[in-house]
Amino acid sequence: MTYGLNRFSAALVLTVTCLFLTACGFHLRGSAEIAEPLRQLTLVMPDRSRSNLEPLLRRQFEANGVTVNGGSGYQLEITSESRSRREASLGANADIDEYELTRKVSFLVTDPLGEIVLERKLTIERTYDYDADRETASSVQEAQLYSEMEQQLAGQILRFYANIKP
């Protein structure tokens, strides 16, 4: 008897939880709704060395049904990108306690006629604690933060692109 009651209670709790989640508008982050004319994209990167952002952008767009560099259509051009690190705070002995990382990207989107339909500059900043005694761990943390920032920038660029009205 208690086994059946426990199953009923679990089912009831699950049902109520699902109702609350759907009532508040929650939904899992999924693919972006991209209009059909936007599904052909040419990605243009700066002439400098290969960017860490390029494979992330390709992956994001292709995962959302956009053919990258697959013919004529819209063009996404990364006009500039930069990353920097500066001291955010100093300790009592003038030792560095925190670093601030900044990742900036400027991009523009042109339609098939060459008209600029979107132009943005995005900036993401993160701060992390620096420990001179654990410099290797701090450098790994810095690399991970830059990677997360680049993923976030790629997601933001995709969302801006998806909101273009063709």
Residue 3: predicted pLDDT: 61
- Look at residue 6 and tell me if it is in a domain: no
CA 152 – CA 162 distance, rounded (Å)? 15
- CA-CA distance, 139 to 101, in Å (whole number)? 12
Q: Is residue 19 in a domain? A: no
| pLDDT for the residue numbered 49 | 60
Number of structural domains (the chain) is: 1
Instruction: Report the CATH number that the domain containing residue 77 is assigned in CATH.
Output: 3.30.160.150
The residues, any chain, with a CB within 8 Å of residue 68's CB and separated by 6 or more, are 41, 42, 43, 57, 58, 61, 62
For residues 44, 62, 40, 148, the Cα torsion angle rounded to the nearest 10 degrees is -40
Considering the domain boundaries, does residue 1 fall inside one? no
Residue 26: the pLDDT is 53
Domain assignment present for 4: no
Q: Is residue 23 part of a domain?
A: no
- The gap between the terminal CA atoms of the chain, to the nearest Å, is 61
Residue 109 within any structural domain of the chain = yes
How many CB atoms are closer than 10 A to CB 60? Answer: 22
27 found inside a domain:
no
pLDDT for res 15: 78
Look at strands 67-68 and 40-44 and give their pairing.
parallel
Residue-level pLDDT at 96 = 78
Q: What range does the domain containing 92 cover?
A: 34-162
The 3-state DSSP class for residue 8 equals: helix
Burial bucket for residue 144 (CB in 10 Å: 0-12, 13-18, 19+): exposed
Is 53 part of any domain?
yes
pLDDT by residue, tens only, the chain of 166 residues? 566 667 777 777 777 776 676 666 654 555 678 888 888 999 998 876 677 899 999 999 999 989 998 777 899 999 999 999 888 777 777 777 888 999 999 999 999 999 999 999 999 999 888 776 677 767 888 889 999 999 999 999 999 999 998 7
The partner residues of 89 in beta bridges, in order of sequence, read 98
